[in-house]
Homo-oligomer: A and B are copies of this chain.
Amino acid sequence: MRLEEAIKQKEFKDQYNKAIVNLLYTQSFIVTKQSRLFKPLSLSPEQYNVLRILKGQKGSPITVSSIQERMLNKMSNASRLVEKLKQKGMVVREECPTDRRQVDILITEKGMDVLSQLHNEMHELNRTLIQLNEGEVDQLNFLLDKLRG
């Protein structure tokens, strides 16, 4: 659906303003659909994001601040998200041996299980959410990377 119909706005001042609104609306469109996938596993999109970061470590520990740096939303609170995941038994916290300010985080077997349960569905969803051909997706990624300067 065109943005104008989706939010019932007839016109935009210019294409730059429309692009801003289009990006915000499209993110909400994506997150809403992803959330429904996470729901049965009692996982939020941001908790999923943290688990993905931990999985990417392939066994080596990562500190809370490094998780924060890798998060999609730089303003989110990795400390509290890790605590939520720990309560669910999906991660463990360990004191960092070289710097006692830091805390090493590791994904558990249970955390890995949750990710593999989601793997196929997520891949399928991401593919169907984006109704573009391969050339168009490449172009979109190029434009988004360029947009941010």
Docked-complex contact A148 and B75, CB < 8 angstroms: no
Question: Which of A1-9, A79-87, A90-98, A106-114 forms part of the interface with chain B?
Answer: A1-9
Docked-complex contact A123 and B13, CB < 8 angstroms: yes
Contact with B along A94-136 (1 / 0, CB 8 A): 0000000000000000000000000000010011011110101
Report chain B residues within 8 Å CB of A2.
Answer: 145
Contact residues, A1-24 vs B (CB, 8 A): 1-3, 6-9, 13, 15-24
Docked-complex contact B32 and A145, CB < 8 angstroms: no
- Copies of this protein chain in the complex: 2
Q: Does A74 contact B (CB under 8 A)?
A: yes
A interface residue numbers (CB < 8 A to B): 1-3, 6-9, 13, 15-32, 56, 69-75, 123, 126-127, 129-132, 134, 136-141, 143-149
9 A-B pairs within 8 Å (CB atoms) are namely A1-B148, A3-B145, A16-B126, A17-B123, A19-B130, A22-B144, A23-B26, A29-B148, A140-B140
